[in-house]
A and B are shown apart, each in its own frame.
Chain A
């Protein structure tokens, strides 16, 4: 049973780290969160619904930990400057231009409300099904769909509102009025 648990959880660790990093931005804070999530998963593995999807289950644990963590952090304003952490949170991107685009993206993502950011990340980056995203977020499917649409629209607006970096027009990110 233990070997089975390890076999099911291990391949999911990279994705869990990615989701935690996208939410918390800080690498060590994110990994702490994943560690906490894994400890809980090991301890509660037997409580999991037999045959249930380990991925949705693990993301649910991680998501709830992250929300608790973010709520606590929002009570004390973060002392970290956005630009520092935004870039530090990601590995070095391929090119200078990519780095700038990623930085803009992260800055815009940060301005989304948690409820929109989480659904967008789960569906787009983690490629969870709409049903699994609903399970992780504990909301009806219809709410997933409406939050997803709002998140996309808002992110597009936020990114096109920013002045383009010199020499790099990003027409495909502009919203159409």
Chain B
């Protein structure tokens, strides 16, 4: 039987180790009979090994967080209550284009929902859910050590923080703590009334939305009002109606604007 002629594709398949055993043997026999070609093929094999070895370390590197697929999926699934993504991209490119030509006028347009007071509102609601329901350790520093609490919060937030006084609304300071957020440290102050109803004020410096009007938010029975003044954001949350919270929030804002 006349053997099938060896093709260039066979030679490629030989180098890439893609031939079946029978064809592999036939190519080997052919190369034995053609030493010059055999040398070229050996060169290709060395080239193949060198290529693999040269790039192998890249695939061994630890995956950086921005390529963590699980995290990317989770970030997409996080609810976006703000504008759709493309509007942010557009706003961002407009800002870049506008440059010094009055781009500042667009300040605040299209801030992602992960930023600004919406983020602060979520952080406050999360802190309320964890700490307001805690019967044994709702606060880390009690009201009697308020100067210690003020010092701790001011140090962590890198600006002077005053504790709002809600006595006129019937709420007493229980104490507070510093809590971590995605946007850095935040000061948490907790209050309660005679019936044991608790309120939380969360305050932290704002990277975005440094001056924002007061806006209501609601999440699973927890209501709140959030705003920002002069780079400092506030959120007041509680398991009471927004109507009841609103005058208290106004009071907190007034106190923060006019420190005694």
Contact = CB atoms under 8 A, between A and B. Distances in A.
Interface string A81-106: 00000000011110000100110011
A175 interface: yes
A95 B36 CA distance: 31
B73 A6 contact: yes
Given A124-B48, A149-B12, A21 B55 contact: yes
Interface residues on A, range: 35 or more
A123 B47 CA distance: 13
A29 interface: no
B15 A152 contact: yes
A42 B57 CA distance: 26
A18 B53 CA distance: 12
A17 B47 contact: no
A67 B150 CA distance: 57
Contacts of B69: 6, 9-10, 13, 38, 42
A160 to B, nearest CB: 8
A26 interface: no
B72 A39 contact: yes
A56 interface: no
Given A152-B15, A172-B46, A42 B51 contact: no
B50 A105 contact: yes
B78 interface: no
Interface in B53-108: 53-61, 63-64, 66-67, 69-70, 72-73, 76-77
Contact of B58 (A6, A90, A98, A172): A90
A122 to B, nearest CB: 11
Interface in B33-53: 36, 39-40, 42-44, 46-48, 50-53
A75 B168 CA distance: 69
Given A42-B73, A90-B57, A172-B43, A145 B9 contact: yes
Contacts of A145: 8-9, 12
Interface of A: 2, 5-6, 9-10, 13-15, 17-18, 21-22, 31, 34-35, 38-39, 42, 90-93, 98, 101-102, 105-106, 109, 120-121, 123-125, 129-130, 145, 148-149, 152, 155-156, 159, 172-176
20 contacts: A6-B69, A10-B69, A15-B59, A18-B59, A35-B66, A38-B67, A42-B72, A91-B61, A98-B53, A101-B54, A102-B53, A105-B51, A125-B51, A145-B8, A149-B12, A152-B12, A152-B44, A156-B40, A173-B43, A176-B39
Interface of B: 8-9, 11-12, 15-16, 18, 36, 39-40, 42-44, 46-48, 50-61, 63-64, 66-67, 69-70, 72-73, 76-77
